[in-house]
Structure 1
Amino acid sequence: MAVISLLTDFGDRDAFVGIMKGVIWKIAPQVQIADLTHWIEPQNVMHGALILGQSYAYFPEGSVHVAVVDPGVGTQRKAIAARIGKFFFVAPDNGLLTLPLEQSERLGEPIHVVELNEPRFWLPEVSKSFHGRDIFAPCAAHLATGVPLDEMGSRLDSSALVRVVIPKPQPIKGGWQAQILMVDVFGNLISNLTMDDLGGQAIRSVRIAGVSIEQFTRTFGEAPPGSLISMFDSSGYLSICVVNGNAQKQLNVRIGEPLEVITG
């Protein structure tokens, strides 16, 4: 059975997500729909790209990932569909697919992209502000029923697609300069430094917002409640956390906050 995932910045107060599901099920009633998240920070394409990049590969091969964080809706930005490695994607061409593209390029996997410019796969009427309903949802449903990509639009060169620039950690004397990329629902501060960046080096301390964090742990349970710790999260990124608490509130920092990681 085909699987479609949905990632948006729509939240769940309004009917936007439910309407997209209705459009999909009218075309592909047997498809399974997974809500990846609808709480991407509004209009924050990088946030959407990061969450999609962390998540897409956990789905069955051939799944269709629909990503709609679309501040350029109704403008000249392209609507695209792609087969990237083992998965399909439907999204605006604004950088949301940056990480799947980079991953497949590193692995030498095939990438096949089209512009969604065949109106017969859209809804009959297309608004200027809700392409999630009018273009992306119906096109995803058609893909899930087996419509070939090349029937849905003109071929595009993947190297010409928009990419977001995701900041990379930089080596400094005695460690690394990194920054906070995301804050999760628990208030954990997720940086752009990974275990691979360290190359086996041990973390001695982390300095952020004028605070030096000396406790590096493997799990939350290794430190008492209320402790400020650093640890690698389930996706392999160094995170700043408060055990049973909220690191963002305690440190009063935002996305983009710099941190120094002292190693050795």
Structure 2
Amino acid sequence: MYCSVGNVASRRIITLLTDFGLKDPYVASMKGVMYSINPEVIVVDISHNISSFDIQEGAFVLACAFKYFPKGTVHVVVVDPGVGTERRGIVVESNNYLFVGPDNGVLMLAAHIDGARRVVEITNRKYMRSKITHTFHGRDIFAPVAAYLSLGVSISEIGKEIEDYMVPKFVKPEYSRDKVKAYVIHIDKFGNVITNVTSRIVFEELKWSYGQKLIVELPGGESMLVPFQKSYGFVKKGTPLLLIDSEDFLELAINMGSAAEEFGIARGALITIYPSSNSSV
């Protein structure tokens, strides 16, 4: 009844991530469409509290959550300020998952982390609702497509493969040799500055190691020498450090302080990081 991505587990789980909130009927309507097509599917809510229209926030939350689900899960994201325009609907197949949503970049951070294999534009009306409104593609297109994918419909049946899909600048950091230009994708409650640089890039591409001293060039032009450590407690209170956070991203932090406030860093900023010639702490 179910098919798989490669040789991975069956697609019986669909996740939902939206900026809809829970006051209105939008989330329930999407679930109703999916259950009508596949009554056996398991639908899991990641969040419906993404800030309205905030594509980058949606992409970050998806990138944090997607990997904890079984292989073959279908992840649906509706943060879609361009709904009803010429923006396309897409399905992204990665090494282990399928992602369904608008072609506005919200899917691509997670898909890139998992290894995006192909992207198709959703065009086959057979897998959409018979009536498609201009303002609710989440219910009329993305929900039914996800449900049919959970039943084993091939991604190739959904539409034709495309290569000109949108990849926002926050998806892929710029790096060469041991130097990286990191994009700030999130500031958390504690003022930790979370970048789009993953541990794979840090250890496999940049070849950094814990205990190194790294130079951090801030958006305002200032530079500082910062230790790269495993966790906050390896430095004294009030001391800045770099670390790999619990979601596998490189983070600039201050032990028991706010790096964002201290250094005036906002989401969307670029910080350049590279080793000091004096490489050990």
TM-score normalised to the size of structure 1?
0.77
Structure 2 counterpart SS, 1:60: coil
* Aligned partner of residue 18 in structure 1, secondary structure: helix
Name the residue aligned to 1:93: 103
CA contact (8 A) 2:213 2:227 kept: no
Q: 1:20 to 1:244 in 2, by over 3 A?
A: farther
Judged with a 3 Å threshold, the aligned counterparts in structure 2 of structure 1 residues 47 and 84 are, in CA distance, closer, same or farther, namely same
Does structure 1 residue 229 correspond to structure 2 residue 244? no
Give the aligned partner of residue 79 of structure 1.
89
Name the structure 1 match of 2:207: 199
Query: How large is the Cα RMSD of the aligned pairs?
Result: 3.3
Bigger Cα displacement from structure 2, 125-134 vs 192-201: 192-201
Residue by residue over 1:116-145, the C-alpha shift from the partner in whole angstroms, topping out at 9 and shown as x without a partner, is 431x43334332222112221122122212
Structure 1 residue 53: Cα displacement: 4.1
Is residue 2:12 matched to residue 1:2? yes
Secondary structure of the residue aligned to 1:160 is coil
Is the Cα contact below 8 Å between 2:173 and 2:181 reproduced in 1?
no
- State the partner residue of 1:113: 120
Q: Deviations over 1:144-188 (max 9, x none)?
A: 12334444x43x22323232233524569x955434222234432
Distance in 2 between the 1:55 and 1:249 partners? 26
TM-score, normalising length: structure 2: 0.74
The AA in structure 1 aligned to 2:124 is: N
State the SS of the aligned residue for 1:4: strand
Q: Where do 5+ consecutive residues of structure 2 fail to align?
A: 1-10
Which aligned pairs between 1:59-74 and structure 2 lie closer than 5 A?
59-74=69-84
Which residue does 1:131 correspond to in 2? 137
Answer yes or no: is 1:258 the counterpart of 2:265.
no
Structure 1: 5+ residue stretches without partners: none
SS at match of 1:206: strand
